[in-house]
Amino acid sequence: MTRRPAPSAHLRVGAGEFGGRRLNAPRGIRPTQGLVREAIFNLVAPVLDGAHVLDLFAGSGALGIEALSRGAASATFVDQDEHAVRIVRQNLDALGLEGRARAARADVTRWLTTNPHEVSRASLVLLDPPYNDAVLEHALALLDSLVAEGATVVAERFHRQALPELGRLRADRERRYGDTGVSVLVAG
């Protein structure tokens, strides 16, 4: 018997231009829950208008698409999973966002080191890596040296996972939602 791949799951854009629109999400990922996504965007609302966004470990692209829906100018989505990048592109196409966004299939830490100009251009970086994975530390260490002064970085993680010691990125706000910890960092 041949097994078909599981269909994609669905989630919705929370607010803004595309509020209520359905997004596809690859099976097997942990998309940011609606409550947490809403809380993140309440925390970063002052920096959204006209922002250039990086959605790292993009999964479905829900975080970056939410940012675009709420006024960001552009977004770049990076994920190493081919299926996830395909889903991001489908979601962007369905919303007519191809001109304001692009999706790249790459290891996030490698992408950061090979695209320093794009990283320094970003005013908002959204990180949602697999929980309890050391890749969060590596990505934050790279971002610490690459983002421009004043850039905002949001790191979603398992609440017990500590952030690494950083130089330029300083914690601005910390929140906990169940097992999810959200850190908002600002580059000095």
Tell me, yes or no, whether 38 lies in a domain.
Answer: yes
Q: Domain range holding 132?
A: 9-187
* Structural domain count, the chain: 1
What integer is the mean pLDDT of 55-69?
Answer: 96
| pTM of the predicted structure, to 2 decimals | 0.92
Tell me, yes or no, whether 4 lies in a domain.
Answer: no
If we measure between CA atoms, which residue out of 23, 139, 37, 162 comes closest to residue 89? 23
CATH number at residue 48: 3.40.50.150
Q: Is the pLDDT of residue 176 over 80?
A: yes
Q: 133 or 183: which carries more pLDDT confidence?
A: 183
pLDDT tens digit sequence for 35-47: 899 999 999 999 9
Per-residue CA distances from 141 to 120, 124, 128, 137 (Å): 14, 16, 15, 6
Tell me, yes or no, whether 160 lies in a domain.
Answer: yes
Q: 3 or 66: which carries more pLDDT confidence?
A: 66
Q: Is the pLDDT of residue 31 over 80?
A: no
Q: Is the pLDDT of residue 64 over 90?
A: yes
Q: Which amino acid is at 88?
A: V
DSSP for 1-36 reads -PPPPPPPEEEE--SSTTTT-EEEE-TTS-PPPHHH
What average pLDDT does the chain have? Answer: 91
pLDDT of residue 4: 35
What integer is the mean pLDDT of 120-135?
Answer: 91
pLDDT tens digit sequence for 152-174: 999 999 999 989 999 999 999 99
DSSP annotation of 115 reads: -
pLDDT of residue 35: 84
Tell me, yes or no, whether 2 lies in a domain.
Answer: no
Tell me, yes or no, whether 40 lies in a domain.
Answer: yes
Tell me, yes or no, whether 140 lies in a domain.
Answer: yes
What are the two backbone dihedrals, phi and then psi, of residue 184, each rounded to the nearest 5 degrees?
-105, 120
What integer is the mean pLDDT of 84-112?
Answer: 97
> 158 pairs with which residues across the strands?
180
Q: Is the pLDDT of residue 132 over 80?
A: no
Tell me, yes or no, whether 47 lies in a domain.
Answer: yes
What integer is the mean pLDDT of 99-117?
Answer: 97
